[in-house]
């Protein structure tokens, strides 16, 4: 809910609070880790050290899956890469401080390289989320088979053991493992609580929409994968150096799925849940698997299914809720409202050398069905160009072909003089296109303020480890927020907005990206007369005052007549007519089309 804005003073109170939480959490954890070895027996220490390394790995699974929505089966592969880097170098090349550090570096580099390859394969614009899962599923399978194929060198199926390593005391290893876990978890927590963390959630909720806000989704996912891979490899390296045994299972598919089980049971998207879940489950498993080996696994399987079906949030959040009921401490809400600041955008007025938008011979066909057939349109700056035509005329397809280079079957699209090529939506956005959608598909669990911040990502960026508390918006975007009352609801999650507010936010977000060409697909659908009028006057001022070139799809011909400078009529994928409002309204051809008579297309 909207909070008192005075709380979000400069320097971002949210950032400060998150940092304080992390600091306190890490300090408490550090005290526990520092003193625990003196209370525990060797067996428990041994189990916990392994559990700490696995928990660090599970933490990366949660960032990828819980936050960003990438269902990965392959995070174990990075663990295996780290473990084998340690074992192989020590066995075959040499051992000593230099070799040890070198092999650690090698582990990280190898993991980053593999993660890049996987990311490049799995994340491209238009890839289905399932495909990423397939690639991450293939990765550990390939890795294990390569280890098998390595024969003597990799120890094949029996792995490598008794390679030289540091036989430090159990306490030392406990501190190393615990320290590593605390460090990477703190880092992960800062990341997911930052502006960048909100971006990850936005990608999970609506990847398509992110791309149309100019956010390079694929690149972000690849980078995230690389970071997660490096952390996983570091954990695997520590695990191998401590246990002095590596086996192909460390990089296998089964461990990959177990990580998902740990994450789901602990509570995906909570970061702490998966870490605690992994430690809890792994330790219990080690104690129980001695006496009840098969039964324990059966219980895990049942618990996993029950949690997925009935409690998708996992167990830790439920525990947390229970605790909170017993001891109601204030909730550390990291979701304060932001402060908006308006600025006057630089108008693209003077530079009228090339048309803001021009299409030449634009084609789109599905098989033999031609949806767009040789469309040539040109828009001017400071102009409101309406595209009308009956259902199925190809209006939305036209917008799609303009805003995504991968969509059209032929022809050219020039944005501010540059041909868009086969560019993804975010590259087209970078050229100056802003597109709003017919349906109001926003980011359900993000607040209005977060959505606006997201829309400014392309221009203002997002900090990796902190939260901003101020969003700078161009005045037209601010104007729309004020007109729809959204400036008073910055802390509201978008799913709780009214339809009119959603449309307003949608438009404000597009304007926040500071486009020079605005593509609007039925911006007034389902709005009241008053809202319509408000949007209409905003649009005309955008064109007249701010010099934008606006392309508008509308069914409401009265609305079109009131605000348009020029009208283009599409019919069955072809350009039927183009002209001023008066010309088009008076045209018999257009009347015939709308009344459903057969018309010879003018092409």
Partner 1 sequence: MANLALDMITTSAILFVVASGLMIILGVMKLINFAHGAFLTLGGYAAYLTTEAGLSPWLAPLLAGAVGFGVGIVVERVIVRPLYHRPLDAILATWGLGIIIGQLITIGFGREVQFAASPMTGTLDLGGIEYSAYRLTLTAVALAIGGALTALLYLTRFGLNARAVIMNETLARGLGIDSARVRLLTFGLGAGLACGAGALITPLLSVDPNMGLPWLVNSFMLVLVSGVSIPSLALASLILGSAQVAVSSYISPIIGGLTIVVLAAVLLRLYPKGLGRGT
Question: Can you give 156-215 as a three-state secondary structure string?
Answer: HHHCEECCCCCCCCHHHHHHHHHHHHHHHHHHHHHHHHCHHHHHHHHHHHCHHHHHHCCC
13 lies in the binding site for partner 1 (CB under 8 A): no
To partner 1, the closest distance from the beta carbon of 491 in angstroms equals 28
Measured from the CB atom, the residue of 93 and 148 that comes closer to partner 1 is: 148
Going along 345-465, which residue ranges are E strands?
357-366, 369-375, 378-379, 383-388, 410-415, 418-419, 433-436
242 binds partner 1 per the rule CB under 8 A: no
Q: How many CA atoms lie within 13 A of 358 on its CB side?
A: 11
CA–CA dist 192, 453 (Å, integer): 15
Considering only the stretches 101-109, 295-303, 504-512, 542-550, report the one whose residues sit in contact with partner 1 under the rule CB under 8 A: 295-303
Of 30, 40, 138, 599, which lies in the binding site for partner 1, with binding defined by CB under 8 A? 138
Residue 369, number of CB atoms within 10 A of its CB = 8
Which of the ranges 293-301, 372-380, 508-516, 521-529 carries the binding residues for partner 1, by CB under 8 A?
Answer: 293-301
Please choose, from the candidates 306, 287, 305, the residue with its C-alpha nearest in 3D space to the C-alpha of residue 296. Answer: 287
Contact with partner 1 (CB under 8 A): which of 30, 34, 117, 134?
Answer: 134
Query: How many of the chain's residues bind partner 1 (CB under 8 A)?
Result: 37
Cβ proximity to partner 1, 152 vs 353, nearer residue: 152
Tell me how many degrees the CA angle 29-34-37 measures, rounded to the nearest 5: 115
List 113, 305, 545, 602, residue binding partner 1 (CB under 8 A) = 305
C-beta of 169 vs 302, nearer to partner 1: 302
Cα–Cα dist 463/482, whole Å: 27
Provide the minimum distance between the beta carbon of 332 and partner 1 in the complex, in angstroms, as a whole number.
28
Name the segment binding partner 1 (CB under 8 A); options: 18-26, 291-299, 323-331, 377-385.
291-299
- What part of residues 356-375 is at the interface with partner 1 (CB under 8 A)? 367
Contact 553, 396 (CB under 8 A): yes
Quick one: which segment of 104-112, 132-140, 206-214, 505-513 binds partner 1 (CB under 8 A)? 132-140
* Comparison of 39 and 128: residue with beta carbon closer to partner 1: 128
User: Which residues ranging from 139 to 198 are in contact with partner 1 (CB under 8 A)?
Assistant: 141-142, 145, 148-149
Q: Among residue numbers 259 through 278, which ones bind partner 1 (CB under 8 A)?
A: 260-261, 264
User: Helices 129-149 and 75-88, interaxial angle, to 10°?
Assistant: 20
Q: Which residue's entry shows tokens 């699974």?
A: 61
Nearer to partner 1, 137 or 187 (CB): 137
List Cβ neighbours of 529 (8 Å cut-off, separation of 6 or more).
Answer: none
Residues that bind partner 1 (CB under 8 A): 71, 121, 126-131, 133-135, 137-138, 141-142, 145, 148-149, 253, 257, 260-261, 264, 294-295, 297-298, 300-302, 304-305, 308-310, 312, 367
């Amino acid at each position: 809910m909207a909070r008192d804005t005075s709380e979000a003073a400069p320097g971002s109170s949210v950032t400060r609070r998150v940092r304080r939480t992390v600091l306190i959490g890490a300090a408490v954890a550090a005290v526990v880790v520092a003193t625990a070895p003196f209370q525990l027996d060797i067996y428990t220490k041994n189990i916990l050290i392994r559990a700490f390394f696995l928990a660090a790995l599970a933490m990366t699974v949660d960032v990828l899956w819980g936050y960003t929505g990438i269902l990965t089966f392959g995070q174990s592969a990075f663990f295996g890469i780290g473990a084998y880097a340690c074992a192989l170098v020590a066995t075959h090349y040499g051992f000593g401080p230099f070799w040890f550090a070198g092999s650690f570096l090698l582990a990280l580099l190898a993991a980053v390289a593999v993660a890049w390859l996987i990311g490049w394969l799995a994340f491209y614009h238009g890839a289905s989320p399932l495909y990423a899962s397939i690639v991450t599923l293939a990765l550990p399978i390939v890795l294990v088979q390569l280890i098998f194929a390595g024969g003597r060198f990799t120890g094949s199926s029996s792995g490598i053991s008794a390679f030289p390593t540091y036989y430090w005391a159990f306490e030392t290893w406990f501190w190393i493992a615990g320290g590593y876990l605390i460090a990477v978890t703190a880092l992960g927590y800062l990341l997911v609580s930052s502006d960048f963390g909100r971006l990850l959630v936005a990608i999970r909720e609506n990847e398509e929409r992110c791309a149309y806000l100019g956010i390079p989704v694929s690149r972000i996912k690849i980078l995230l994968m690389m970071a997660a891979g490096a952390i996983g490899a570091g954990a695997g390296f520590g695990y191998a150096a401590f246990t002095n045994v590596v086996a192909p299972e460390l990089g296998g598919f089964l461990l990959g799925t177990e990580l998902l089980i740990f994450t789901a049971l602990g509570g995906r998207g909570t970061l702490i849940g998966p870490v605690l879940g992994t430690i809890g489950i792994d330790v219990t498993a080690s104690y129980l698997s001695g006496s009840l080996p098969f039964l324990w696994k059966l219980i895990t399987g049942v618990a996993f299914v029950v949690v997925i079906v009935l409690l998708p949030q996992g167990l830790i959040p439920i525990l947390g809720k229970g605790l909170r009921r017993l001891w109601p401490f204030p909730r550390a809400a990291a979701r304060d409202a932001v402060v908006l600041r308006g600025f006057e955008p630089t108008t693209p007025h003077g530079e009228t050398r090339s048309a803001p938008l021009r299409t030449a011979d634009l084609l789109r066909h599905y098989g033999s069905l031609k949806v767009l057939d040789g469309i040539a349109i040109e828009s001017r700056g400071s102009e409101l160009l309406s595209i009308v035509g009956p259902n199925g005329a190809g209006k939305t397809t036209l917008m799609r072909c303009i805003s995504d280079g991968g969509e059209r079957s032929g022809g050219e699209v020039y944005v501010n003089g540059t041909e868009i090529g086969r560019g993804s939506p975010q590259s087209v956005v970078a050229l100056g296109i802003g597109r709003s959608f017919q349906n109001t598909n926003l980011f359900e669990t993000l607040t209005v303020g977060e959505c606006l911040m997201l829309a400014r990502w392309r221009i203002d960026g997002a900090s990796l480890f902190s939260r901003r508390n101020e969003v700078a918006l161009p005045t037209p975007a601010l104007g729309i927020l004020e007109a729809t009352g959204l400036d008073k609801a910055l802390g509201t999650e978008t799913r709780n907005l009214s339809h009119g507010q959603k449309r307003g936010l949608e438009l404000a977000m597009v304007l926040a990206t500071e486009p020079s060409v605005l593509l609007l697909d039925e911006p007034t659908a389902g709005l009241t007369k008053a809202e319509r009028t408000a949007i209409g006057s905003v649009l005309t001022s955008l064109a007249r005052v701010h010099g934008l070139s606006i392309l508008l799809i509308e069914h409401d011909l009265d609305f079109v007549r009131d605000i348009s400078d020029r009208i283009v009529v599409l019919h069955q994928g072809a350009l039927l007519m183009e002209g001023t409002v008066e010309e088009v309204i008076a045209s018999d051809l257009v009347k015939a089309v709308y009344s459903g008579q057969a018309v010879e297309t003018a092409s």
